[in-house]
């Protein structure tokens, strides 16, 4: 019965195999040396390792800045600026102002609201009327501040300001643009009542200087 014997490597092959074994032994020894022990795991991180750990795990303050914006962020273009009673200029975002106006003017599920029905109706109509209300509220916040203690004063001031704005708008709409008309021309235009024509002619006779241009 014949037996199998592996071929004898040449001198070059033998040297190569020996070198491979030496490298494998060095790698194995290096891995054992770098393996952390239980005592090492309890040591505080120092040097570059600590800096890398801090960079990978930001602090709570950094995370808070990520959520709320960095401390040196510039104001948004939509921010409105106001000076508080203490003389400090602060920015209130357009969204925050809209939310305050909505809470002030909306009707609660109970059917109650902080302002009268007329203001509620103007707020619901949206557009320029709602913008006027928001600007009126901004002026009230600038005058009384934004604290909870000032809420009643803000609400009272807001309603007063809204009433004055409405009266001014109604007065502006009722203003008559100057025209050179005779009493007969005013009658034909059908834009003036007899009472208005009488008042206009009486005024012109009483103050003729007002007709001079």
Per residue in 112-127, pLDDT (tens digit) is 887 888 888 888 888 8
Q: How much is the CA Rg of the chain, to the nearest whole Å? A: 42
Answer whether residue 62 is part of any domain. no
Shared domain check, 209 and 130: no
Least confident of 41-45, 85-89, 118-122: 41-45
With cut-offs at 50, 70 and 90, classify the pLDDT of residue 186: confident
Instruction: Check whether residue 149 and residue 192 sit in a common domain.
Output: no
Predicted local confidence at residue 27, as pLDDT = 65
Q: Are residues 187 and 161 in the same domain?
A: no
Total domain count for the chain? 2
Q: Both 129 and 188 in a single domain?
A: no
Whether residue 141 sits in one domain with residue 91? yes
Based on the fold, state whether residues 125 and 98 are members of the same structural domain.
yes
Which residue range forms the structural domain that includes residue 211?
A: 183-213
């Amino acid at each position: 019965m014949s037996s199998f014997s592996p071929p004898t490597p040449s001198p070059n092959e033998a040297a190569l195999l020996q070198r491979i074994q030496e490298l494998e032994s060095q790698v194995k020894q290096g891995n054992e040396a770098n393996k952390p022990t239980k005592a090492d795991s309890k040591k505080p991180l120092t040097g570059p390792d600590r800096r890398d750990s801090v960079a990978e795990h930001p602090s709570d303050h950094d995370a808070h800045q990520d959520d709320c914006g960095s401390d040196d962020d510039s104001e948004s273009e939509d921010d409105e600026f106001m000076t508080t009673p203490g003389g400090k200029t602060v920015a209130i975002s357009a969204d925050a102002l809209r939310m305050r106006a909505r809470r002030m003017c909306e009707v609660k599920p109970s059917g109650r609201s902080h302002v009268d029905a007329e203001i509620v109706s103007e707020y619901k109509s949206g557009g320029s009327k709602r913008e006027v209300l928001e600007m009126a509220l901004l002026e009230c916040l600038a005058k009384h501040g934004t604290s909870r203690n000032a809420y009643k004063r803000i609400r009272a001031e807001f309603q007063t300001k809204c009433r004055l704005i409405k009266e001014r708008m109604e007065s502006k709409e009722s203003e008559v643009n100057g025209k050179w008309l005779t009493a007969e021309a005013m009658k034909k235009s059908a834009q003036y009542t007899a009472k208005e024509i009488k008042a206009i002619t009486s005024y012109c006779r009483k103050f003729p200087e007002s007709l001079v241009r």
